[in-house]
Each structure stands twice: as C-alpha cells, then as structure tokens.
Amino acid sequence: MPLTDKARISDDQKSPRIVELWKALTALKSVASFMNTGAHPDDETTAMLAAMRFRDGIGISYACSTRGEGGQNDIGTETTEALGVLRTAEMEAACDQIDLRMYWLSEGPEDSIFDFGFSKSGKETLRKWGRERTLARFVHIIRRERPDIICPTFLDIPGQHGHHRAMTEAAHDVMDLAADANFEDCNLPVWKIKKLYLPAWSGAGQAYDDDLPPPPATLTIPGTDSDPVTGWSYARIGQQSRSMHATQAMGRWIKRGDETDFPLHLVRTRTAVPDIELTSGLPHKLSDLPTVHAESDLVETQANIEAALSEFPNNAAIVERATRALCSLRKAAELLTDAEKSAFGHKLARKETQLSHVIRIASGVEVRAAFDRDVLRPNDAAEIAFDLSPGNATLDVDAVLPAEWSMDDSTVSVGDSAATSDPYPDTYLPGEPRPPYLKVQVTANGVT
C-alpha cells in the first residue's frame, strides 16, 4: 500500500534539513575521486569511504562484480537470482547512506559473472565468469566513472575468497586496459587511473583465512574521528550504511574508542610526487585543475565554495555563495579546451550538480510525490499526489516517465507495451534516479 502518514513522518525524521545541507556542502570540498572494488554487495569498505566522502569531500564509488546470489538470507527464503534482486536493492539503500556511486559488472541474472558460491581460487573464478567478459565490464565501468584512484577491499592471496581474489587480480589489469586505446571490448574514451592501492590489513576472519601477511602500509587514512555536525563517528556512519544489508545480518554498534584507521599500500602510481596524502599528485580542489583559459573562474568558484562552507548553517548566505560559485563554474566549463574537457570536464559537471543540490536544500525547497498504489502493470493507471514547497526559490517541476508511460493532469497511465522495471540495473547514482522521477528546476538568487 502507499506510504502511510506515519511512514512519511518517520522518513522525514531521518533526514533533517540541516544535516542534508551539511552533507551536500561537504561534497564540494574536493574534485578527487576514489573507487573501491569488490565481488559482493557488502564488500565495500564502508567506514573508510564514509570518512573520505563526508570529511574530505572525495567522490566515492564502488565497482562490484556479482549481486551476491550465493549469500545467506536472514530475512526470507529467497535464494540465487531472487536473492540477487534483494541484495541489489539493499546495496542501493546502502549507497544512499554514504553518497556512493554504484556500478555492477553483472548486468542480469543470466550473466556469467555470478555468485556461484565459495571458492578459494581467483583463477577458477575468472574461468567461470569469463576473463574477457569480466575485464570488458570492468574497463567499461572505469571509463564511465573515471576515478583517480582504485582500491580493492581484499588481497589476492591464498586463503582468501576466490571471488575477492579475482576482482583484485582484475584491478591490476584494468589499470592498463582502461588507458589502452587498442582495447577492443569497450568503445568509451580511454581513462588513466592515477593510483592503485591495496589494503594493508589482513582479510582473515570468519570465513576467510589469509595465508600471507598484508603488504606494508605506505599511507594511512584516518578513521577514528567524527562528523562535526551530527557527532557520529565515521565508523557509525559506515554502520548506518551496512545495516541496509539486512539479508546478510549486517550492522553493528561501534563503541567510542573502537574506531580504526585504514592503512593502504600504494602498488602503482602515475604521479611523480611522494605519496604523503591520498590526493598527493592529484588535483584536490577546483582551483588545482590545470587550465589555460579558465583559471580565474575556477579560483573564484573555489573561493565561493569555501565561503559557503564557512557560512554554515546560514541558509541565505550559503545560497548567495553557492549561486555565485555556480555562475563562475559554468563560465569555466565553457572555456575549457577539448583536452581539458577530456581530462576533467566531468569533474566540473559533478560540481555543478553538487552546487545545485546545495542551492535546493539551502533554499528550503521541498518536492514530494506519491502514487496511490504500489504496483503498476501494463494498461494500469494511478493518481499521483504532489507535495511542493518552493521555500525561498521558484520551481518548475516535470515528471520524467519511462517509455510507454503518459501523464494527463494527475493521472499516470502505463501503456500495454511498457517494459517491466529492471531488477538488475547495472548502475545506481544517488541523486540521479531512474524514471519515473520528478525533475525539479530551481531558481534562486536569480540563478537557475
């Protein structure tokens, strides 16, 4: 049945505007990006990712090979493909908690990249998945997301799960293949990963028993501190995400003092400076990006971003600074050379989206919509109820519908040839939903 008032109140209580605004602002701190890689939903190194994202502003993503079809199910009787559908949805909910961009190598329940059960051999795993298929999907994901850094969760050593070993072996290969213009199995523009790290901690414990020690740490990501606004440690924020993996009984309370740091081992780098920090040798802020014509506009954008952060929680001042930043960022984007667009145009595009989120939240905009039924089938119709509040902005709201859907006033109709929803989507990007959704154009401080 549609959401009850109690359910809506509960959802609203979980996302106070001041927290949502702070989270949106922290995304503006950096242009660097980090991709974690693993074999199953719940393999992500959540606490480390939460610290990177909400403390450091680093863009985070996760490339996962399988949907976890061979895992346990603590909440129901679904197994194999049906369990994969559940774990895909759980992973998306986990992504929402830490603003994690999600990519799957497996594209469907019939894909050869499948969680076929426990294995201790990476070679066996790649044979079953198909080595060429695995690398082609991995390269495609790297070229789509274009991360500066990649880091597997587990080591490729005896005693470790074969699926984990396969993904770590593949991570070494894609460092070169993603940058190889002669790689024939992906037609996206090439992308050069700048650094490859491995975890410098042991993956032994529970079902796994690493037979070799981890490599020495060359860098440590601090993980024992807390978010200054919510007071939550980054470890607890990580567990808020992990608790979404309900089929796997994830989520545990982290006592104060039990938080840990995260040692990493630099395996390969394309930078030419000592690796003192995660972003050493990489552009960290917009003003660090090397550009011929747009330097002054990027410096102005960065100054306004830092001012917006310093104005928290003054909504009006944040809107003023963020709209100024958005204007100068758009000017900078227009001045990039073709080579610059290829190298970091995507970073400016993401900052434009992030600034737009900040402006929407700081302006007090609220947009909600709900169907009067939960399931729609071909030839069905449903009423949609809108709950709109423009705050201190003006709004233009449009419904974006799947193919063969239509809308007349407040009635949405599904055509007889409309496709079913995809239970195995290959991508999930928080804040960038799949249809049906509402597209909201916000104008604040004279800027749209």
- pTM equals 0.97
**Same-domain pairing of 278 and 140:** yes
In total, the chain counts a number of residues equal to 448
Q: Is 420 exposed, middle or buried (0-12, 13-18, 19+ CB in 10 A)?
A: exposed
- pLDDT of 204 reads 67
Domain that residue 148 falls in? 32-282
pLDDT band at 209 (very low <50, low <70, confident <90, very high): low
**Per-residue pLDDT reduced to its tens digit, 95-119:** 999 999 999 999 999 999 999 988 8
Q: What would the DSSP string read from start to end of 28-48? A: GG---EEEEEESSTT-S-HHH
Whether residue 334 is contained in a domain is answered as yes
Amino acid at residue number 28: L
Residue at which a domain ends, from 251, 282, 313? 282
- pLDDT of 159 reads 83
Whether residue 448 is contained in a domain is answered as no
**Same-domain pairing of 207 and 87:** yes
**Per-residue pLDDT reduced to its tens digit, 4-27:** 889 889 989 999 999 999 999 999
Whether residue 243 is contained in a domain is answered as yes
Cα–Cα separations (whole angstroms), residue 237 to 96, 196, 224, 398:
11, 25, 12, 33
Residue at which a domain ends, from 265, 282, 299? 282
Whether residue 129 is contained in a domain is answered as yes
Instruction: Give the pair of three-digit tokens for residue 15.
Output: 């996302």
Whether residue 130 is contained in a domain is answered as yes
Question: Cα(421)–Cα(436) distance, rounded to whole angstroms?
Answer: 10
- pLDDT of 207 reads 59
**Same-domain pairing of 252 and 197:** yes
359-387 mean pLDDT: 95
**Same-domain pairing of 82 and 130:** yes
| Residue 301 phi, psi (nearest 5) | -60, -45
Domain count, the chain: 3
Element (H, E) at 59: strand 59-64
Which residues fall within 8 angstroms of residue 338, CB to CB, at 6 or more apart? none
- Does the pLDDT value for residue 93 go beyond 90? yes
**Same-domain pairing of 109 and 11:** no
State the CATH number of the domain containing residue 195: 3.40.50.10320
**Same-domain pairing of 219 and 266:** yes
- pLDDT of 118 reads 85
Whether residue 161 is contained in a domain is answered as yes
**Same-domain pairing of 16 and 36:** no
**Same-domain pairing of 215 and 133:** yes
**Same-domain pairing of 232 and 292:** no
Question: Cα(157)–Cα(414) distance, rounded to whole angstroms?
Answer: 51
**Same-domain pairing of 108 and 249:** yes
**Per-residue pLDDT reduced to its tens digit, 58-69:** 999 999 999 999
**Per-residue pLDDT reduced to its tens digit, 252-297:** 999 999 999 999 999 999 999 999 999 999 999 999 999 999 999 9
**Same-domain pairing of 322 and 381:** no
**Same-domain pairing of 172 and 42:** yes
3-state secondary structure of 437: strand
Residue at which a domain ends, from 239, 264, 282? 282
